[in-house]
Amino acid sequence: MRLTSIFTPRIIEAVDVYEEIVKLRREGRRGAVATIVSVQGSVPSYRTAKMLVRDDGSIAGTIGGGCVEAEVWQAAKEVIDQEKPRTLKFNLNHDPKLDTGLVCGGTVEIFIEPVLPLALLYLFGAGHVAQNIYKIANIAGFQVCVIDDRASYASRDRFPEAHELIAEDFDTATASLTPSSKSYIVIVTRGHKDDMRLLRWAVQTGARYVGMIGSKRKVIAIHQSLREEGLPESLFQNVYAPIGLDIGALTPEEIGVAVCAEMIAIRRRSESKLPHMSWFLRQPTPERNGALEHEGSATGGPQP
């Protein structure tokens, strides 16, 4: 087999792909890794060869070059956008568009998986429910920042593995935070007023997920108050309130599972129809002025 080809030349970085993946995640960026997982016959590379495609289109490593690599690069861009893996299979013997003069044959299968930055969860409140959300979210791979206005609650004793602890007045704390489209915000404070001012701030951050604890009655009342202040309806499109999936959760532990399951569904872009409790997701019109319903929600009350 001749290893040279007339494929379009591409500048390949002589770097360790694994190191580049770690670097990319530390920078809070996205990418996709293409790996040759199956080879039959002669191909211009080897099994387990890897190529990293960054979110700006640059690459590190190679899976053999040429038209195959170009198609994989394009597919990797789609994987980055969709944040879902996919597998491609190329037949170098029978696919005319791959016939560029390379003296190789056979088939190659390539697995492309997304590289995502660690999801950062801003958890407002440090009571019993917050503790259980923190525990499960930490296991699920979220970096958790716990914020509470009580130093005795936002402590290492209660949240030993938290990425960050902030014990300040909520207004002071939010002034120093800059959530992005990769961030998640969960509001489980002990008071209606704190929940309202935090939701006011959260919907204007562009966070990927905003969840607030409370009954449907409380959620509707807060929403109407914020709309009367002049906040546009479009800001509430990523709000999940009442928070969590409707799995009949009652205890703080069960509520923690329901909330984290909902965040994971958003993180993985689940296309399945899920039983969200969120009143926001159930409204057919933007005004959302339906009748107030009963308060029977597992996350219906303030949490200490």
For residue 284, name the pLDDT band (cuts at 50, 70, 90). low
Mapped to the 3 state alphabet, what secondary structure does the chain carry? CCCCCCCCCCCCCCCCHHHHHHHHHHCCCCEEEEEEEEEEEECCCCCCCEEEEECCCCEEECCCCHHHHHHHHHHHHHHHHHCCCEEEEEECCCCHHHCCCCCCEEEEEEEEEEECCCCEEEEECCCHHHHHHHHHHHHCCCEEEEEECCCCCCCCCCCCCCCEEEECCHHHHHHCCCCCCCEEEEECCCCHHHHHHHHHHHCCCCCCEEEECCCHHHHHHHHHHHHHCCCCHHHHCCEECCCCECCCCCCHHHHHHHHHHHHHHHHCCCCCCCCECCCHHHCCCCCCCCCCCCCCCCCCCCCC
The mean pLDDT of 173-181, rounded to a whole number, is 94
Quote the mean pLDDT of the chain: 85
The mean pLDDT of 118-140, rounded to a whole number, is 97
pLDDT the model gives residue 55:
95
Name 78's bridge partners: none
- How far, in Å, are 42, 45, 72, 88, 107 from residue 104 at the CA level? 5, 10, 18, 18, 10
The mean pLDDT of 126-147, rounded to a whole number, is 97
Whether 11 shows a pLDDT value over 50: the answer reads: no
- How far, in Å, are 14, 23, 145, 184, 207 from residue 180 at the CA level? 32, 19, 14, 9, 5
Please give the residue that has the higher pLDDT: either 224 or 8.
Answer: 224
Whether 13 shows a pLDDT value over 60: the answer reads: no
For residue 295, name the pLDDT band (cuts at 50, 70, 90). very low
pLDDT the model gives residue 65:
76
For residue 68, name the pLDDT band (cuts at 50, 70, 90). confident
Query: Exposed (0-12), middle (13-18) or buried (19+): which is 6, by Cβ within 10 Å?
Result: exposed
Whether 298 shows a pLDDT value over 80: the answer reads: no
Cα–Cα distance, 162 to 134 (Å, whole number): 8
Cα–Cα distance, 54 to 73 (Å, whole number): 10
Cα–Cα distance, 41 to 87 (Å, whole number): 19
Q: Which residues are CB-neighbours of 79 under 8 A, at least 6 positions away? A: 32, 85, 86, 112, 113, 114
pLDDT the model gives residue 10:
43
- Backbone phi, then psi, for 261, in 5-degree steps? -60, -40
pLDDT the model gives residue 108:
87
The mean pLDDT of 91-111, rounded to a whole number, is 64
For residue 138, name the pLDDT band (cuts at 50, 70, 90). very high
- Asked whether 214 and 258 are in contact (CB, 8 A), the reply is no
For residue 40, name the pLDDT band (cuts at 50, 70, 90). confident
The mean pLDDT of 107-117, rounded to a whole number, is 92
Residues 223-276 pLDDT 10s: 999 999 999 999 999 999 999 999 999 999 999 999 999 999 999 888 899 999
Cα–Cα distance, 62 to 67 (Å, whole number): 12
For residue 12, name the pLDDT band (cuts at 50, 70, 90). very low
- Asked whether 33 and 63 are in contact (CB, 8 A), the reply is no
The mean pLDDT of 148-158, rounded to a whole number, is 97
For residue 1, name the pLDDT band (cuts at 50, 70, 90). very low
Among 97-111, 161-175, 194-208, name the one with the lowest average pLDDT.
97-111
Residues 210-225 pLDDT 10s: 999 999 999 999 999 9
